[in-house]
Amino acid sequence: MNNNGLIVVIGAGPAGLSAAIEAAKVGAKVIVIDENEKPGGQLFKQIHKFFGSKEHKAGTRGIEIGVQLLEETAKLNIEVWLNTEVCGIENNREIWVIRDKKQSVSLKADKIILATGAIENAVVFPGWTLPGVVGAGAAQTMINISRVLPGKKVLMLGSGNVGVIVSYQLLQAGAEVVAIVEASPRLGGYGVHTAKVCRAGVPFYTSHTISKVIGETKVEAAEIVKLDGNWKPIPGTEKVLEVDTVCLATGLNPLTELAWIAGCKFHYIPELGGHLPIHNRAMETTVEGIYVAGDISGIEEASTAMEEGRLAGINGAASLGLIEEIEREKLTQEVWDRLDALRCGQFGQKRKDAKDRLLAVEKEVV
Amino acid sequence: MTRIIEHPILGKLEEQKKVQITIDGKPYTVHEGEMIAAALLANDIKTFRYTRHQHKPRGIYCGIGRCTDCIMTVDGIPNVRTCVTPVKEGMAIETQQGSGKWKEGDRGE
């Protein structure tokens, strides 16, 4: 039992801030570390309204949720170290960080919550390295945070939620979305987001992919091609679209480096983005005292990331003796009920099944 | 210029404080605190560096400081990630060739 324990949360996005808030609420000493100069992760570029039920803040824009989380963080006097990069985690939960690119600091944590997020997947085709081929999330950052258009005529590769949401936001920002190209025969995003770009007249090309991007020093055009039932390009179906920007919305990959160096055991679950740190229902990994939350524990959404953050925060604080066992069980179950509600339906069930597999693996290895 | 002034959700872009920077020696007026990559895109500059062996152009790619495709030489320091580094008054930004060169005598700061 240690009532003066320190919880270090790495990553100040929706998962990390939610974890920090839950832990600080019951009196834990919390430090949140983020390498960026501002907290909030990717929330502040989410200018669309969230989906789901009221308790998941449906109907609220991501930016507003970001503001709320930062207000709570400030109210609870949670220490946030910005411009701080985590370079290592030792066996005894000693964290090595570099602050402001010059000051090397070690801090000993009693509990660590990894909420490092994810990076967008790349897709390789001739011309994919040309300036003007960007991640859809990067384009979203440019238009909604920096208020700068990465280009005027955009091709979006991928029709999942990121693809259709960013396409709509590119239209709102004043760009033309020339096409949304989807390799699968079916569209991948929620109907509500897909319908908005449909109504705006953006053409969808299902069973198509990019065969090459054309240009000497920047994107000048993209050639797309139709795919057969075995995902093979059909010769003669090539079509050249004049664009100056190609956005890739082809999924995300968890940022798991810190979990690897901390010695966490991993399991491969492709539906959730790849190799994931194995964790239990308390979000604790196979390394005692190290928790995960958000995209690092499987690619989902900000709403599930916040719930997982709460789980990690509650259970991290409880293991420091700050929450009674009965209360911990009750709070944990409440979050799981909400997570189950989020992980249902056409899109959610697949994620729930995948998460259940990850939890089942935990029972075997621990 | 490709700045988004009017926006149906975010509203009109408020007047921003300005700073002076140079890009390859040429002066530009940009918004204080914005990321270098944004300042460049706002001025229609898309090539940030050329690769070491094949001298191919590269620009912003991931926008969150992970892929390092957008690195440039900033105030004599090579390999600065421009998507996560804000502009500052008087900053000298240079298109980077290959791995870049440290300014004479500045190595290791």
* Percent of chain B at pLDDT exceeding 90: 90
Which among A253, A355, A353 is positioned nearest to A299, based on CA atoms?
Answer: A253
CA distance A151 to chain B (A): 8
Q: Tally the C-alpha atoms within 13 A of residue A257's C-alpha that lie toward its C-beta.
A: 11
pLDDT band at A58 (very low <50, low <70, confident <90, very high): confident
In 10 A of CB A104, how many CB atoms?
Answer: 9
Report pLDDT for A52. 66
pLDDT band at B31 (very low <50, low <70, confident <90, very high): very high
Report pLDDT for A53. 67
| Pairwise CA distance, residues A303 & B51, whole Å | 40
pLDDT band at A365 (very low <50, low <70, confident <90, very high): confident
Residue A57 reports pLDDT greater than 90: no
> Is B7 near chain A, with CB under 8 Å?
yes
pTM: 0.94
The whole-chain average pLDDT of chain A stands at 95
Which residue intervals of chain A bear CATH 3.50.50.60? Answer: 6-119+252-364, 122-248
pLDDT band at A3 (very low <50, low <70, confident <90, very high): very low
- Hunting for tokens 């960013």 — which residue is that? A166
> Residue A103 to residues A97, A106, B4: CA-CA distances in angstroms?
8, 10, 37
Per the rule left: phi > 0, alpha: psi between -120 and 50, beta: everything else, A49 is beta
Which among A186, A203, A158, A193 is positioned nearest to A172, based on CA atoms?
Answer: A193
> Residue B2 to residues A114, A168, B5, B36: CA-CA distances in angstroms?
37, 18, 9, 15
Q: pLDDT for A236-267, tens place per residue?
A: 999 999 999 999 999 999 999 999 999 999 99
Residue B109 reports pLDDT greater than 90: no
Contact A150 B41 (CB under 8 A): yes
Is residue A120 within 8 Å of residue A134, measured between CB atoms? Answer: no
CA distance B67 to chain A (A): 9
Cβ-Cβ contacts under 8 Å, B86 against chain A = 37
Q: pLDDT for A266-300, tens place per residue?
A: 999 999 999 999 999 999 999 999 999 999 999 99
Is residue A155 within 8 Å of residue A246, measured between CB atoms? Answer: yes
pLDDT band at A366 (very low <50, low <70, confident <90, very high): confident
Which among A316, A254, A310 is positioned nearest to A112, based on CA atoms?
Answer: A316
Report pLDDT for A59. 79
| Pairwise CA distance, residues A360 & A152, whole Å | 48
What mean pLDDT comes out for the span A137-159? 97
Residue A150 reports pLDDT greater than 50: yes
- Maximum C-alpha span of chain A: 70
Report pLDDT for A2. 43
Residue B104 reports pLDDT greater than 50: yes
B interface test, pick of A128, A143, A147, A162 with most B CB neighbours within 10 Å: A147
The whole-chain average pLDDT of chain B stands at 93
Give ipTM to 2 decimals: 0.94
Per the rule left: phi > 0, alpha: psi between -120 and 50, beta: everything else, A333 is alpha
DSSP A227: B
3-state secondary structure of A81: strand
Closest CB from B8, B47, B83 relative to A217? B47
Is residue A56 within 8 Å of residue A305, measured between CB atoms? Answer: no
Report pLDDT for A353. 95
CATH topology of domain A122-248: FAD/NAD(P)-binding domain (3.50.50)
- H/E stretch holding A88 reads strand A84-89
Is residue A131 within 8 Å of residue B46, measured between CB atoms? Answer: yes
Mention the CATH class of domain B16-97.
alpha beta
3-state secondary structure of A335: helix
| Pairwise CA distance, residues B36 & A222, whole Å | 27
Q: pLDDT for A75-126, tens place per residue?
A: 999 999 999 999 999 988 999 999 999 999 999 999 999 999 999 999 999 9
pLDDT band at B19 (very low <50, low <70, confident <90, very high): very high
Mention the CATH class of domain A6-119+252-364.
alpha beta
Report pLDDT for A50. 81
